[in-house]
Amino acid sequence: MVKIGVLALQGAISEHVLSIEACGAKAILVKSKDDLNLVDGLILPGGESTTMRKLIDHYDLLVPLQQFASEEKPMFGTCAGLILLAKKLVGYDAAHIGVLNATVERNSFGRQVDSFETSLVVKDIATDFPAVFIRAPHIVEVGPGIEILATHEDRIVMAKQGHILGCSFHPELTADHRIAAYFTDMVKESLAKKASV
């Protein structure tokens, strides 16, 4: 069975676990470097990116997470997770994990009170995905190798770069598991590719 980790430091952890399990994969909570070694792919959930970064540093996870990405193991960041994956952040000198070749702006859709849900066209996944935006970031600019999967009001809200997937919204807060299934398929394809080498 495919094993997908959820970075379990802060944020919408249990919702991602349920979504992974609905796609027939095994969900594993990742809180340490040893936990990372147990999984084939990793989800970085929504939450509060500054708090998550402090906890990543506290548990010495930054380099192991970068190493995980360098081994071409699939990673999927939602909302705060997208911020953690981005190579550049508007208004900040340094990135966090810095593996997605994109520039991201935090809280670009407003504050908590400005949260909303809309239907999105997501390339290769859905023409009507119910996307929940909560203090959401967006992708301001993409670099080489990035495929744009979804936009909302001319802002990029989902993109893929090889084995890295990121979105501005919270797919785990709905009963629609199509994006989780897409990521699960990315993990399966990664495993099949490694097995054939």
State how far the Cα of 186 lies from the Cα of 110, in Å rounded to an integer.
Answer: 31
pLDDT at 135 (0 to 100): 87
Region at 184 (left for phi over 0; alpha for psi -120 to 50; beta for the rest): alpha
Annotated catalytic residue 79: yes
CB 113 within 8 A of CB 130: no
Mean pLDDT of 65-90: 96
% of the chain residues with pLDDT over 90? 85
Average pLDDT of span 177-191 = 97
pLDDT of 111 reads 66
On the question of pLDDT at 115 being above 80, the answer is yes
72 vs 53: CA distance, rounded Å: 22
Categorize the per-residue pLDDT at 112 as very low, low, confident or very high, splitting at 50, 70 and 90. Answer: low
Taking residues 88-112, report their average pLDDT: 87
pLDDT at 144: 92
Residue position matching structure tokens 């208004």: 91
Q: Which residues contact 37 (CB under 8 A, 6 or more apart)?
A: none
21-32 tens-digit pLDDT: 999 999 999 999
| 170 flagged as catalytic | yes
Q: Which uninterrupted H or E stretch holds 163?
A: none
Catalytic hit among 15, 16, 23, 79: 79
Burial class (CB in 10 A: 0-12, 13-18, 19+), 161: buried
- CATH superfamily of the 3-196 domain: Class I glutamine amidotransferase (GATase) domain (3.40.50.880)
Asked whether the predicted pLDDT for residue 107 surpasses 80, the reply is no
The reply to whether 189 belongs to the active site is: no
CA pair distance 69, 75, nearest whole angstrom: 7
* pLDDT score of 109 more than 80: no
CA distance 116 to 96: 27
